[in-house]
Structure 1
Amino acid sequence: MALLIQLAVLCVTVLSVDGKYYGKEIATGWGSSASNGLAGSIYAVDKNTIQIIGFSFSPSGDGAGTAILMGKGKTFENAKTSGDLSNTVTVMAGPLKSYNGEDIIFDLSDGDEISDFSYIAVGNTDSQELYGGASIPQGFVAPAQQDIGTFTSRAHKVRSQEVTVIDDRTILIRSFRYDGQGPDAFFYVGVTDQVKIQQAPYGKIPDENGIVDRKATQYADRDVLLTLPSAISATELKWLSMFCISYSHNFGEVTFPDDLNVPPHIGQIDINREGFNCEAMSEQLQVSWLITNDSITFELAGNINRNEDYMAFGLSGSTAGPQMNDADVVVADYREGSTPRAVDYFITSKAQCSSNGGTCPDTSTANAAIDDVTDVSAEVTYGITRVKYTRALNTGDSKDKEYMADGTEQQVVWAVGPLNTKMEAAKHYTNGRSSSPMAIDFNRDIADNCPSFTLETEVELPKFTAHHLYGKKGQEVFTVDIGQAGSEQGYKALTGLPSWGIAWYINGVLIPELHLERGVSYTFLVGGGTDPSEGSMYHPFYFTDNIKGGYATNSNGTIYPGKVDGETVNYAVGGYCEWKLTSQAITDLDNDNVYECFETFKADMYLDCTDGSEEYTEFVFTPDSNTPDLLYYQCYTHESLGWKVHVYDKLPKKEIAAETCSAPVQAMLSSLLLLTAFLLNFL
């Protein structure tokens, strides 16, 4: 009788197979002499896991003794010829059923790794027969997470620490930094050698919240976890970039090695809930489920703050209605840069967990039970956090309640709240809990009663109004700095063009329209940077008849030169000074602060000169009879940083005055609410 070491089968799952990367190939079949209809391709998922794609097998009779085996010390051919199965282990115990093109996945246990074995086979441990198999190459290296380097820093302060490809669709960027000032920047992937515009399905990808079409905002040394769309595998990519689409500009990239050997993405959640029941607990939380044999799979979907909140759902502590005491729930969360969690809880009181009980995990000292939740996976889609998990209908655990499959309606409870510093559930939010009875028959006919989530929609923001500066007598000198473009409210509202994120400030004003007179010499004190190697801090100032500028990149338009130290030049450079938002203003913007006009925007800024330098260069420009009536002051190396210059034979006597204001919208609304409250109390 052969010596067999029995291994536990940790996971056997049917997967979706269309067009996916499956892992590192071990073999595309089971040998030329395979019998019993044996077919399928064999892949290593990681060092402990194998999946077989398109597995087919027809056992003889009742299949007694059939199993999937792994052997040591011999090639498959030698083992089959000798009929010696004495050094094999069973990785999927039988009797095997009939398979017809299915996909299965199983884990090795007891610390075994794929490289410990020399072949995989399907055989019969009773008759000592092998129906087919494949040898595992010597020195086989299984897929694993792989560090691929750091982001290059090309513009807008993009940089990172190590970038890790976790699996072929999951990428972790550690300590990612980007100033958020690009006009049309996204996480962007490609398959070309050079970083440039890509054809679908490549190009921009979802951000860490699963949103594709939202421009990237500021990242201040944050860990970012990205999930590639299902049509893209990291194994085919050349690079990942923070890329400005409007200007085809690469702010920084990390490259993928040609020999990337990472696990396939397994356990992903399909946004489509077809085949699942679904009920809305509130506008914030929806619960989907499906019973399969003796287990039940849940998906909790929440419109929550994923970096602070948990979602909880389970069976009530009372058969009469919602009761948290004695409830059996699962608490789920999925934070940026972390693996998803779904933790088994038994609640003895609403207090935070301690040795005396409270809202405690099953594995806590107070509960001294087992966490019976398995197969946890998660995804963030369109800002909705989705966590999926499975547990047995009846775990046999004293702290777990049984989910009934006999048509019984069971009372449920739910909650949404913050996690405490121990990453355990703290008290739910005021409106984030069960407030009325809800009974569910978990084995009902499939019914999806969940509406679409209501997400925040964009609102029209107040637009900054144009400012005008006139080069009249005594006002022939203008100071030129870089500053914040004001995004949708500023540069884009004033010009109709996408904003680069920064723009020219003339005399401390965002892209004012200049009015100049022919024959008058004007001095522009330029402070746009002098170091070409610092692309985001190098902005030569020049005049052109092209609305976008950026002559160095597109050669469009005519340049109207000026003079520096008496010599004619096409552009001028000078020490770098930038109007920047204060840290508090940045925080306020993150909290949806809105500026009513440029003046309130400017009040939240300060002028920062690199190394304390204010070494402006005097650039003298004298419009003449050859100068057209309309010019643009722009940046020679980047498009769309400046705006209009009106040129006259004589300046108009009537000047255009800018509309100004003094109070931010948020402050005005707060004042209005206070006034309303006062009047209500008075009345």
Structure 2
Amino acid sequence: LFDNCYLFPGQRGAVAEYLGKLIGKLSELHHAVSGEVYAVDGRTLHIKDFTYDGQGPAAYFYASVHKNPDKRGFRLRDENGSPEVIRRYRKEPVTLTLPEGKTLRDIKVFYLWCEDFDVNFGDVKIPKNFPYPRPQKIEPLKGIHGISSDNIVIVDAQTLLVPNLSYDGEAPDAKFWVGQGPKPSPQGIRVPDENGKEVPLRRYDRKTVVLTLPGDLTIFDIGHFGIWCEQFTVDFGHVQLPQGLNIPPSLKMLGISPQSKLNCEVLQDDLAFEVRWAVAGESIVLQLVAKLGDKEYMSFGLSGDNQKSVMVGGDVVVAWVDKNT
């Protein structure tokens, strides 16, 4: 399963505190350095209540593949993605991402390092084979009204990815539904659809959807997920959620406001052709969006030629509208 990477600046949220898996406290060596360091996922660290007086002349966040915190390590950009000398902090939340190609499997120590004087201001050791949080696959959704899916991915503590979801759309008041205990009931909670709306579900034909739990609700508060007919109180199909999952916290739980749920790139303005994507599990989920007329198509993928766009020999997804269906 995948290692996420979060680099979005934002504001502190109100979700119940879960910051990932605790690695340990920073040693308090110099310049009032302190804080608790958590593994968010394989490439992301979060420091709770980070404090540093800002008086070091050339202090940076550092990590190293060696056991000792010294100049052989490498810099980490700060919580805003800046490579500059770090500022003063007063019991602040700080989320950091390891450089490209590095994971918590590689590094043995995280620390604050002064490059001018080769001094370690404070560090925490990372145990070998540390079990950092990662997304988890659970059972697929199965039920009546043609409901089926591939294995559901719990992306983080507030996000579910349901791959290849199918549902015939014929029920009058079907909703995505969660609640306490192993089975759905009228006391459950609606989950907004992939567009953030709490409306009766439409037909799905092997569509991959990303769902966010409402408000401050987390995976740790619920015992099941499924599709429920609210009007007639009927369970159309559900899965039980394992307890005690070692999964990443959501961005909101880290006090970070993401700029958008999905990444997006406009490929052609005239057709409003966009490619949207999100990383989930071992997959990158892509959506193609465009205003298409009859006999028009859109495509996206790897070209068969490194120098220009060529479909022959490439690996391309092609989509179009069939007005007859």
Instruction: Give TM-score scaled by structure 2 length.
Output: 0.69
Higher relative contact order (CA 8 A, sep 6+): 2
Change in CA separation of 1:342 and 1:58 when aligned onto 2, cut-off 3 Å: same
- List per-residue Cα deviations over 1:46-81 (Å, max 9, x = no partner): 212223233221133xx212111213343xxxx4xx
Identify which of 27, 31, 38 aligns with 2:33.
38
From the CA coordinates, give the structure whose radius of gyration is larger.
Answer: 1
Deviation at 1:96, TM superposition (A): 1.9
- Structure 1 counterpart of 2:320: none
Identify which of 104, 114, 120 aligns with 1:114.
104
Q: Provide the rounded CA distance (Å) in 2 between the counterparts of 1:124 and 1:172.
A: 42
Deviation at 1:252, TM superposition (A): 0.8
Q: Provide the rounded CA distance (Å) in 2 between the counterparts of 1:119 and 1:64.
A: 22
| AA in 2 matched with 1:141 | P
The 5-angstrom pairing of residues 452-531 of structure 1 reads none
| AA in 2 matched with 1:132 | G
In the alignment, structure 1 residue 105 sits paired with structure 2 residue 95 = yes
- Structure 2 counterpart of 1:51: 46
Deviation at 1:112, TM superposition (A): 1.0
In the alignment, structure 1 residue 174 sits paired with structure 2 residue 159 = no
Change in CA separation of 1:12 and 1:245 when aligned onto 2, cut-off 3 Å: closer
Change in CA separation of 1:226 and 1:25 when aligned onto 2, cut-off 3 Å: same
Deviation at 1:116, TM superposition (A): 1.1
- List per-residue Cα deviations over 1:253-290 (Å, max 9, x = no partner): 1222224333333389x9x9xxxxxxxxxxxxxxxxxx
- Structure 2 counterpart of 1:640: none
- Structure 1 counterpart of 2:298: 421
In the alignment, structure 1 residue 158 sits paired with structure 2 residue 147 = yes
Indicate the RMSD between aligned Cα atoms, in angstroms: 3.9
- Structure 2 counterpart of 1:310: none
Deviation at 1:21, TM superposition (A): 5.7
User: Secondary structure of 1:162's match?
Assistant: strand
User: Secondary structure of 1:150's match?
Assistant: strand
Deviation at 1:159, TM superposition (A): 2.0
In the alignment, structure 1 residue 261 sits paired with structure 2 residue 246 = yes
Change in CA separation of 1:34 and 1:191 when aligned onto 2, cut-off 3 Å: farther
Contact 2:157 2:250 in 1 (8 A): yes
Q: Provide the rounded CA distance (Å) in 1 between the counterparts of 2:183 and 2:252.
A: 33
Identify which of 47, 55, 66 aligns with 2:59.
66
Deviation at 1:422, TM superposition (A): 2.8
- Structure 2 counterpart of 1:341: 264
In the alignment, structure 1 residue 209 sits paired with structure 2 residue 195 = yes
Change in CA separation of 1:135 and 1:237 when aligned onto 2, cut-off 3 Å: farther
- Larger strand percent: 2
- List per-residue Cα deviations over 1:80-137 (Å, max 9, x = no partner): xxxx614422224553211123333232224111121122122323333323222222
Contact 2:71 2:115 in 1 (8 A): no
Q: Provide the rounded CA distance (Å) in 1 between the counterparts of 2:70 and 2:259.
A: 41
Aligned residue pairs total 277
In the alignment, structure 1 residue 91 sits paired with structure 2 residue 76 = yes
Change in CA separation of 1:344 and 1:22 when aligned onto 2, cut-off 3 Å: farther
Contact 1:146 1:165 in 2 (8 A): yes
Contact 1:21 1:233 in 2 (8 A): no
The 5-angstrom pairing of residues 379-398 of structure 1 reads none
Q: Provide the rounded CA distance (Å) in 2 between the counterparts of 1:167 and 1:232.
A: 12
- Structure 1 counterpart of 2:23: 27
Deviation at 1:28, TM superposition (A): 5.5
Contact 2:178 2:191 in 1 (8 A): yes
Q: Provide the rounded CA distance (Å) in 1 between the counterparts of 2:200 and 2:98.
A: 43
Change in CA separation of 1:298 and 1:11 when aligned onto 2, cut-off 3 Å: closer
Deviation at 1:344, TM superposition (A): 7.7
Percent identity, aligned pairs only, is 23
Instruction: Give TM-score scaled by structure 1 length.
Output: 0.36
- Structure 2 counterpart of 1:596: none
Contact 1:22 1:43 in 2 (8 A): no
Change in CA separation of 1:418 and 1:21 when aligned onto 2, cut-off 3 Å: farther
Change in CA separation of 1:37 and 1:17 when aligned onto 2, cut-off 3 Å: farther
Identify which of 165, 179, 185 aligns with 1:196.
185
Q: Provide the rounded CA distance (Å) in 1 between the counterparts of 2:90 and 2:202.
A: 49
In the alignment, structure 1 residue 252 sits paired with structure 2 residue 237 = yes
Flag structure 1 segments of 5+ consecutive residues without an equivalent.
Answer: 1-8, 273-296, 300-333, 353-358, 362-375, 378-415, 425-583, 588-683
| AA in 1 matched with 2:291 | P
Change in CA separation of 1:418 and 1:181 when aligned onto 2, cut-off 3 Å: closer
| AA in 2 matched with 1:143 | P
Q: Provide the rounded CA distance (Å) in 2 between the counterparts of 1:144 and 1:34.
A: 32
| AA in 2 matched with 1:205 | V
The 5-angstrom pairing of residues 224-623 of structure 1 reads 224-266=209-251, 339-343=262-266, 418=291, 421-422=298-299
Contact 2:70 2:113 in 1 (8 A): no
In the alignment, structure 1 residue 147 sits paired with structure 2 residue 132 = no
| AA in 1 matched with 2:149 | S
